[in-house]
A and B are shown apart, each in its own frame.
Chain A
Amino acid sequence: MKIAVAATGENLDSGASPVFGRCPYFILAEVNDEIQEIKALNNPAMTAGGGAGIQAAQLLAEEKAKVIISGSVGPNAFEVLRRFNMKVYEIQPGTVEENLKLYKKGELEEITVPGPENRGRAGMGAGRGGGRGVGRRF
């Protein structure tokens, strides 16, 4: 099974990233009896003006990942992942490899509702955005 982990670096030892749409890399791994790294994907959505989560989800769908290990995923990206039957599991602090091991042991929790929008976007206007209720469309 192909699994993508949001990461801050380019390999299994890299830190897992709690940010989905704007994380610098996704580590793609084949997880069966063993954990095997396939490749590190540069995330082009990291610098997207808007819709970063959508773009990142599209990239992972193109790579045919079936499971994503990441932090909160916004409503739009969640919709894309849902359409391609991809599941999201909540990332734990640590490395990419540690998260893959936790997933294998069944110790990661599946995320079934989208998180707040625009969490990773820099330079939001004062006082608005972020922090809205779970499950809201935006």
Chain B
Amino acid sequence: MRIAITGGKGGTGKSTVATSIAYEMAKGHRTLLVDCDVECPDDHLLLSISREKVQDVETLLPSFNQKTCQRCGNCSRVCRQNALVFVTYEYPFLIPEQCNGCGACILACPEQAITEDSQVIGTIYQGKLETQKDSFEQGMVTKRMAKNFLLISGEVAVGCEASTLVVNATRKYASQLEDDYSLTVIDTAAGTHCNVIAALMDTNLVLAVSEPTPLGKHDLDLILKLLEKIGLEARIITNRANIGNLNLIKALADEKGVKIVLEIPYKKEILEHYSRGVPALGDLVSQFVVDMVKEALLEESSVEEEP
């Protein structure tokens, strides 16, 4: 089963919630945390995890042979990314950072002057919870938890715009491991763009983390609309629920018929955990997680039992 953590607005606490939920889940279930906020993955920081690189994410990069190029400009005209510059009588040239590796130019070239090369657009890392980490209190991370838990973290190369491709590659890498895990928690980026959509696809439940501010409400509305369009089941978590105007979120939740399942207060203790690099929410999420997982796993098994 896969749970995605998203929310629309940035800085609402998506990663805080995702890491805390994954941490609590790891106490009783094999849990994979997949950080798909590839433009600034920070789940490893929140859990004091040292990541190690497992593979590069590569994409197709066209390579041009000026000996056979007839300077027709077809390659540039088919490039939807505007990554290929062509001016009459000149050789076309590529802006690599703008290229998303679709390969249309290769198909469009009548002279076969373009061949496939590749470029690195990101990296996939993984990391484990460590039982002996200074930031954690002694015995906080048990051996069992450390064994149950694995973080997969995608990171797009600096300057590269193709974050969605890195999200897809991260998801693909994680999916090869999922047979060994009963739960996957996917942490998405802020916003409602393709990189977020790629992280949300094929999940069973989406938790939208928001905050009781007009902007929080506005962006929550956007992400709920998106989830409705994709056809994903959503629940709302409000962070800093005791400051701001919670009625903003409640009204939207009522209007959309989406349940608010957790209200996280603005509390000094949470900030202290956060700044130390240990799961910030602790007991606040534990009961909620246990209930939700039970409910979700039950639903999953009942679906499987259908003829």
A interface residue numbers (CB < 8 A to B): 45, 48-52, 54-55, 57-58, 61-62, 76, 79-80, 83-84, 125-128, 136-138
Cβ-defined contact, A79 with B95, below 8 A: yes
Known contacts A127-B190, A138-B161, A58 near B39 by CB under 8 Å: no
Cβ-defined contact, B97 with A57, below 8 A: no
Known contacts A79-B95, A127-B11, A48 near B190 by CB under 8 Å: no
Cβ-defined contact, A54 with B85, below 8 A: yes
Cβ-defined contact, B82 with A54, below 8 A: yes
Bound together, the chains give a CA A83 to CA B94 distance in angstroms of: 12
Cβ-defined contact, A54 with B10, below 8 A: no
B157 to chain A, nearest CB (A): 10
Cβ-defined contact, B97 with A138, below 8 A: yes
Q: Which residues of A contact B215 (CB under 8 A)?
A: 126
Bound together, the chains give a CA A137 to CA B189 distance in angstroms of: 22
Cβ-defined contact, B95 with A54, below 8 A: yes
Known contacts A54-B98, A138-B160, A125 near B192 by CB under 8 Å: yes
The residue among A58, A61, A125, A136 with the most chain B CB atoms within 10 A of its own CB is A125
B231 close to A (CB within 8 Å): no
Cβ-defined contact, B97 with A49, below 8 A: no
Cβ-defined contact, A128 with B10, below 8 A: yes
Residues facing A in B202-224 (CB within 8 A) are 215, 219
Cβ-defined contact, B10 with A76, below 8 A: no
Known contacts A50-B98, A80-B95, A138-B161, A125 near B85 by CB under 8 Å: no
- Which residue on A lies nearest to B39, using beta carbons? A128
A137 to chain B, nearest CB (A): 5
Cβ-defined contact, B161 with A80, below 8 A: no
Known contacts A76-B95, A138-B160, A61 near B82 by CB under 8 Å: no
Query: Which listed residue, A50, A61, A127, touches B87 by the CB 8 Å rule?
Result: A61
A117 to chain B, nearest CB (A): 8
Cβ-defined contact, A57 with B161, below 8 A: no
Cβ-defined contact, A55 with B82, below 8 A: yes
- Which residue on A lies nearest to B88, using beta carbons? A62
Bound together, the chains give a CA A61 to CA B86 distance in angstroms of: 9
Bound together, the chains give a CA A52 to CA B95 distance in angstroms of: 13
Q: Which residues of B contact A55 (CB under 8 A)?
A: 82
Query: Which listed residue, A50, A83, A138, touches B82 by the CB 8 Å rule?
Result: A50
The residue among B8, B10, B11, B85 with the most chain A CB atoms within 10 A of its own CB is B85
16 further interface pairs, Cβ-Cβ under 8 Å (given A51-B81, A61-B85, A125-B189): A49-B80, A51-B83, A52-B82, A54-B82, A54-B95, A58-B76, A62-B88, A76-B95, A79-B95, A84-B87, A125-B191, A126-B9, A126-B10, A127-B11, A127-B190, A136-B159
Known contacts A51-B82, A51-B98, A58-B85, A138 near B159 by CB under 8 Å: yes
B288 close to A (CB within 8 Å): no
Shortest Cβ-Cβ A-B pairs, 7 listed: A51-B82, A125-B191, A127-B10, A138-B159, A126-B10, A55-B82, A137-B159
Bound together, the chains give a CA A128 to CA B37 distance in angstroms of: 12
Cβ-defined contact, B190 with A125, below 8 A: yes
Q: Which residues of A contact B80 (CB under 8 A)?
A: 49
B193 close to A (CB within 8 Å): yes
Cβ-defined contact, B190 with A126, below 8 A: yes
Query: Which listed residue, A58, A84, A126, A138, touches B219 by the CB 8 Å rule?
Result: A126
Bound together, the chains give a CA A61 to CA B92 distance in angstroms of: 12
Q: Which residues of B contact A58 (CB under 8 A)?
A: 76, 82, 85-87
Known contacts A54-B98, A128-B191, A137-B159, A45 near B82 by CB under 8 Å: yes
Bound together, the chains give a CA A125 to CA B9 distance in angstroms of: 8
The residue among A49, A126, A137 with the most chain B CB atoms within 10 A of its own CB is A126
